Amino acid sequence: MSAAVKRQDTQSGLNTSEVDPQHREVYAYAGEAFQLIDQHKTPPYPSTFALWYAYVSKANESLVTSVDDMIKRGSVPSPYEINEMCKAHLSDRKAEEAQQEISRDFQHELAGVLDLIQESVDSSDKFQAALGKIEEGLPEAGAPDRVQLLLSRLMAENQRMVSQTQELNKGLRESQKQIEKLNDELEDVRNLSMRDALTGIANRRAFDARIDAELAQAEASGSALCLALADIDRFKRVNDTFGHRIGDEVLRIFASVIGENIKGQDHAARYGGEEFAIILPKTQISAAFHLIDKIRVEFFSKELVLRNSGKTLGKISASFGISMFEPGMTARDMIEHADKKLYEAKNCGRNQVRAEGVN
């Protein structure tokens, strides 16, 4: 049994011999999570435990990367940052529930369509059988009244088939509309699950999917690809001084500045907390540098004033690091290279852009 399990057992008073072997790993992860809460002096809230538990169990790769980056910087996450990381990496339940509900509705509608199709097949079989009986009676039809009777039957069966076909077609058209509506709703939910709720731009999940796709495209075509990581300078001081509501507004403004400057093929995402990522396909490093520096200047030039008091927030800046794709690089490689350049920008005074091969 691991030291983490023994420590947790001691704290809880649990007799380790009573622990089911299949649960020992769970206890080990829990013990390690509590140790990290103590080590990093994070508040012992449920969200904090969820964060550290997911980290030690490696249940979410993107969360592990974010926490590793945080530890490497030597920073202690605030309750706000913990909640933001949990929302970014662990809170997809609402989207999943919505998808499940739409899926159930879709299956119900599809079952109705299959019933209509089966009804159509059954009606067609009945109509064919009725025509067969009429056909059998044709050789015996000599008298005019006999022919008239057969024609009356034929017309009646035909009218019945026309009426049923019209009803079936109406039902199928209505089901088609409902299925199209459900598909649209499902697409909306999928898009929502890939969006950051605060800023409206893509979230970490969307970024992870997009960077992999762009890397594959660059590898296959030999086209250029750059990745920029951005971090709002001294953002914790903004939250501590003005409160998280103002901090949230700063994040929205920063995301807006990014969105107003990138092209259609580019992709901006909230990477986590006050960090953002910008994927720049088919963009050389020099062009990426000029674009990102334009974003930096525009954001720094914003005059941010509190509406109620008229008090200015002062100049708020951001630092940026840019990496350039080379054949064989993975997403993690590009992130690490961009992250290294971002730290250079931070260490050299902040409010600047550092890029591979440019400075």
Using CA atoms, how far apart are residues 52 and 36, in angstroms rounded to an integer?
7
Tell me, rounded to whole angstroms, the distance of Cα 35 from its chain centroid.
31
Sequential DSSP letters for 233-288? TTHHHHHHHH-HHHHHHHHHHHHHHHHHHS-TT-EEEEEETTEEEEEEET--HHHH
H or E segment to which residue 180 belongs:
helix 144-193
Amino acid identity, position 235? F
Active site residues: 274
SS3 221: helix
**319 class by beta-carbon count within 10 Å (0-12 exposed, 13-18 middle, 19+ buried):** buried
Helix (H) or strand (E) holding 228: strand 225-232
- Looking only at the bridges linking them, the beta strands covering 267-272 and 225-232 are unpaired
Q: Are 254 and 318 in contact (CB under 8 A)?
A: yes
